[in-house]
Chains A and B, each alone.
Chain A
Amino acid sequence: MALPTVFRRRAGSALRYTVLTSGAVVMLAPLIWMVFAGFKTLPEILTVPPTILPNGWAFDNFISVLRDTPFVRYFFNSVLVAAITVGSVLITSSMAGYAFAKFDFPGKNILFVLVLATLMIPFQVRVIPLYVLASDLDLLDSYVGLVLPGLVDAFGIFLMRQFMQSIPSDLIDAARVDGASEPRIFLKIVLPLAKPALSALAIFTLVASWESFLWPLLVVSSPDKFTLPLGLAQFSGRFITRVDLQMAASTLTVLPLLIVFLFMQRRFIEGMATSGMK
């Protein structure tokens, strides 16, 4: 009687591995193709049937991308925008989340419902007035204009409030009795306890900021303010038929966040799973 069960379990497990492995191949193939194409010459990419490995590992395409385009500049622009965005979202979300979680004040419920309601307003609905606003304030083609729409995030407030509700109020009250000031309580007691939520929110915001495309596309016009996705689109548009250069540039664009991800996988995956919104 035992044999068929064992056999069935083995067959099931083999099937499971087959499915998972073929899936993994499908997931990785486009990215592997991208990296390899970056090393190939144009005629080599266009051969039918396509080759998989490049004939040689020449860095020519990568060198021309870096020489023809200020890619490094784009990278630092992206880093700057992401840093300001993440910083601002963490500060505003944790402060507001703390107020909603641990304070009683008039208008609390109405304000919170208002915050939740803005979760449903997609960015695209605000994009035209934001553009007009940026234009009126003379912020077009500036870093301030670039970061403006991302400085606050309703979801971040919601996430921080949910998390901070689990911090014991007695801890905060005890500090008050001891004479600690409110900012001190927030900085020394609440924020350290909220670290897991802050880290999830930081990762989530980082990815969203790194990806942001529509707003930079509209608001920035001079190449020295381009972020990576915008720089890539502009570059690829200029060399629309040069798949070799495009794939080298795409590889350079994908690489930074991918490296960060591979180093902090667990945090990334948990962070994205807990902040499953947007």
Chain B
Amino acid sequence: MSAGAPSKTRAFRPAKLRKGNSVKRRQAKWAYVFLSPAILLFLVTVIYPMLRSLQYSFFKWPLGNAKKTFIGFDNYQKLLFQDDLFHTSVKNTLYFTILTVIPTIAIALGLALLLNSKQLRGRGVFRTIYFIPVVTSLVAVSYVWRWLLEPTFGLVNTALGWIGIDGPGWLADPGWAMEGVIGMTIWRDVGYYMVIFLAGLQTIPKEIHEAASIDGANAWQRFRRVTFPLLNPSIVLAAIIGVIYGLQLFTQVYVMTGTPSKLPGGPLNSTTSVVLFIVQQAFRPLEMGYSSAAAILLFLLIMVVTLVQLKVVQRKFEY
């Protein structure tokens, strides 16, 4: 961020000035030495696979079959205009993302505001409790929630029964399965965003709040005009992380909706996510090319959504 800083100190480096070019060359040599492990691993695990993905996406290529057939944009065309399951998976993933990110951020922000008071007793305990789900294994808590959401003896419907609500069938009901996955994800992630917001709140100087109070601003006005704008960077960060994360939905769906006899993504494909689609296409009908095309589309989706968010969110809350 402060890339301009080093140039200022350069004037005070007599040793370097005297030696000039040879020092510069020596420096560059060492820089490449320090960079080489990371760059090498990047080439193998990121750049090469990414380019390969792009390449595969233009081929018809069943796994385990040596023969690749070039078919141009056929995979993309099929995905975009014909494959209903892919469309469903995109819709499901977007639905999941929107309905997890917005409530999670809202709840986390509320919790952070409630906890952001030095006088509050038990502040550390609350912070720890809310953070605990973040460090629990996602696979483990997905199994836990599978049973919590069980329609007849599950804890969720029992608790709803106490307040007179007849709970839905959750994971067994196509109309409620994704909501079950969403509820579980909000529960698990809210503490993480809360911690990001708490860190953001701590950077806001107390004096600003005091000044606003003296000027007669009430609590809501102080939140709306002082806290919220100053917290904007944290909120933007949280929204972007949340969306990138959300669009990669896989583990919860895989664990919560699959059984050995039944593919995950059900009931009636109501929870099939894009990543689940990618994995199933690659390893079930063994179509690596088609699956790669879907992966490239997911990448484009994530990139576009992230860039749009950066633009929109920043402009909206500028102050």
Contacts and interface: CB of A to CB of B under 8 A. Distances in A.
A270 B279 CA distance: 34
A249 B190 CA distance: 25
A257 B49 CA distance: 31
Interface string A90-104: 011101101110111
12 contacts: A30-B155, A103-B27, A121-B46, A122-B248, A127-B49, A128-B291, A130-B45, A214-B251, A218-B279, A232-B140, A250-B137, A276-B237
Interface string A18-47: 011001101111110110010000000111
Contacts of B260: 237-238, 240
A59 interface: no
Interface of B: 1-3, 5-6, 9, 12-13, 15-16, 24, 27-28, 30-35, 37-39, 41-42, 44-50, 52-53, 56, 111, 114-115, 120, 126-141, 143-145, 147-148, 152-153, 155, 158, 161, 187, 190-192, 195-196, 198-199, 237-238, 241, 244-245, 247-248, 250-251, 254-255, 258-260, 275, 278-279, 282-283, 288, 291-292, 295-296, 298-299, 302-303, 306
Contacts of B131: 261, 265, 268-269
B15 A173 contact: yes
Contact of B52 (A132, A177, A274): A132
B137 A177 contact: no
A34 to B, nearest CB: 5
Interface string A206-235: 010011011001100000000011101100
A156 to B, nearest CB: 9
A95 B278 contact: no
Contact of B41 (A31, A92, A274): A92
Contacts of A77: none
Given A50-B158, A118-B46, A152-B42, A228 B137 contact: yes
A210 B136 CA distance: 10
Name the prevailing secondary structure of the B interface residues.
Answer: helix
Contacts of B31: 99, 103-105, 108
A276 to B, nearest CB: 5
B153 A20 contact: no
Nearest to A95: B34
Contact of A233 (B135, B139, B275): B139
A186 interface: yes
B108 to A, nearest CB: 11
B116 to A, nearest CB: 11
Contact of B42 (A47, A115, A131): A115
A173 B296 CA distance: 46
Contacts of B153: 45-50
